[in-house]
């Protein structure tokens, strides 16, 4: 008998779903729910809990615990909407200049791998190589041949020109902040 | 798996680029419809961007002019434009250099070619 145990924690009631196979060839699975109750005897517990009405009762308790909480969340949201007159919605699409700036900011400190730039700056992965190529061509980003950190190649670092770019971009941000807040009644 | 395809909106202008275009047009005062045609924007887009530029005091509405409502770039807007042009120069510098290199005829190599590839070297 193969047993796969999946533990499900729901609030203060801890339920376990036990998956059993009867024979080798038969791929019939039986799901038995075992509750962490005071019943210590395994045989007795299985007999009790494999009984269909008992199982249904456990499902019912499970559902009764889950569903009210969902409704409560929804009712809270609806109450919030009813009471608040203004909804502040922040919408922001990153500009190409901003993507370059984030990529350069990621590579400020002593060199970074290409993948880490992708991971930190979150550019569109389809355009990532084109962005990197453009930054390297314009000498804003430089590829270091050797890194002393782990003796490997392929590290990128922001150049002085890149720092100037970042300063210019910050000035633009100061004059025209990119985050816009739309307030609607 | 490496993705070799580029996104569909690669050549689309961003927010800063559109704002830069509008501010460049408004340096000597311009009407709203002229901004629409010259900056290639729709009516809704012009409303959106002009509203934002006015809110950030980068452009002002000149109601007193005899030609109707005109939009003029402010000092703050000119400063924005200055930074914007410098940024674009930063990103287009290398491309220009490459284009110039491509346009230059290879005089030196072609002149030296017969002597290099000629039989008298051998």
Q: How does pLDDT run across A61-110, given as a tens digit for each residue?
A: 878 777 766 666 555 555 555 555 444 445 567 888 888 998 998 888 87
**CB-CB under 8 Å, A175 with B56:** yes
The model's pTM: 0.58
Measure the N-to-C terminal CA separation of chain A; round to a whole number of Å.
62
Q: Which two tokens stand for residue A44?
A: 């007795």
Is pLDDT above 60 for A20?
no
* 3-state SS string for A133-150: HHHHHCCCEEEECCECCC
- Top residue of B4, B9, B10, B14 to mutate, by most chain A CBs within 10 Å, is B14
Nearest CA in chain A to B93: A138
Minimal Cα distance from A99: which residue of B?
A: B14
Measure B68 CA to nearest chain A CA, in Å: 27
Note the pLDDT tens digit of each residue in B46-94: 999 999 999 999 999 988 888 889 999 999 999 999 999 999 988 887 6
Pick from A114, A98, B30: nearest CA to B21: B30
Residues A135 and A156: their CA atoms lie apart, in Å, by 11
B76, closest residue in chain A (CA to CA): A175
Residues 6+ apart with CB under 8 A from A120: A102, A106, A112
CB within 8 Å of chain A, chain B residues 66-95:
76, 79-80, 83-84, 86-87, 90-91, 93-95
CA distance linking residue B62 with residue B69, whole number of Å: 6
Å between B87 CA and nearest CA of chain A: 7
Is-contact A143 A154, C-beta < 8 A?
yes
Cα of B63 to nearest chain A Cα, Å: 24
Share of chain A above pLDDT 70, in %: 49
Burial of A53 (C-beta count, 10 Å sphere; 0-12/13-18/19+): exposed
Task: Find out whether B87 and A169 touch, Cβ atoms under 8 Å.
Answer: yes
Between chains, do A95 and B14 touch, taking CB under 8 Å as contact?
yes
Judge: A168–B83 Cβ closer than 8 Å, yes or no. yes
Q: How far is B94 from chain A (nearest CA, A)?
A: 5
Structural tokens at position A40 = 């210590």
Contact A176 B19 (CB under 8 A): yes
B27 vs B72: CA distance, rounded Å:
6
Least confident of A12-26, A31-45, B64-78: A12-26
Residue of B nearest to A171 (CA): B83
Digit-coded pLDDT (tens) for A116-135:
888 888 888 888 888 898 89
Are the C-beta atoms of residues A121 and A101 closer than 8 Å to each other?
no
Residues of B in contact with A134 (CB under 8 A): 91
Statement: residue B115 has pLDDT above 80: no
């Amino acid at each position: 008998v193969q047993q796969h145990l999946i533990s499900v924690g729901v609030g203060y009631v801890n339920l376990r779903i036990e998956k059993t196979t009867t024979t080798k060839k038969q791929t019939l699975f039986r799901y038995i729910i075992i509750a962490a109750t005071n019943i210590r005897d395994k045989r007795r517990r299985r007999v009790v809990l494999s009984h269909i009405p008992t199982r249904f009762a456990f499902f019912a308790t499970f559902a009764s615990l889950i569903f009210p909480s969902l409704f409560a969340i929804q009712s809270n949201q609806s109450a919030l909407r009813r009471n608040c007159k203004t909804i502040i919605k922040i919408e922001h699409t990153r500009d190409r200049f901003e993507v370059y700036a984030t990529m350069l900011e990621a590579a400020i400190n002593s060199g970074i791998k290409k993948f880490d730039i992708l991971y930190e700056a979150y550019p569109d992965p389809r355009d990532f190589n084109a962005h990197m190529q453009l930054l390297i061509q314009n000498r804003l980003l430089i590829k270091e041949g050797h890194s002393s950190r782990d003796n490997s190649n392929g590290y990128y670092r922001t150049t002085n020109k890149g720092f100037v770019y970042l300063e210019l971009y910050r000035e633009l941000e100061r004059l025209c902040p990119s985050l816009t807040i739309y307030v609607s009644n | 798996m490496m993705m070799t395809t580029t996104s569909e909106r690669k050549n689309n202008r961003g927010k800063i680029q559109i704002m830069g275009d509008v501010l460049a047009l408004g340096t000597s005062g311009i009407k709203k419809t002229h901004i629409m045609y010259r900056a290639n924007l729709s009516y809704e887009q012009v409303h959106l961007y002009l509203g934002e530029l006015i809110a950030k005091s980068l452009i002002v509405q000149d109601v007193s002019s005899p030609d109707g409502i005109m939009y003029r770039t402010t000092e703050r807007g000119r400063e924005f434009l200055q930074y914007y042009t410098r940024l674009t120069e930063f990103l287009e510098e290398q491309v220009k250099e490459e284009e110039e290199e491509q346009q230059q005829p290879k005089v030196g190599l072609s002149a030296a070619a017969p002597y290099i590839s000629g039989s008298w070297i051998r």
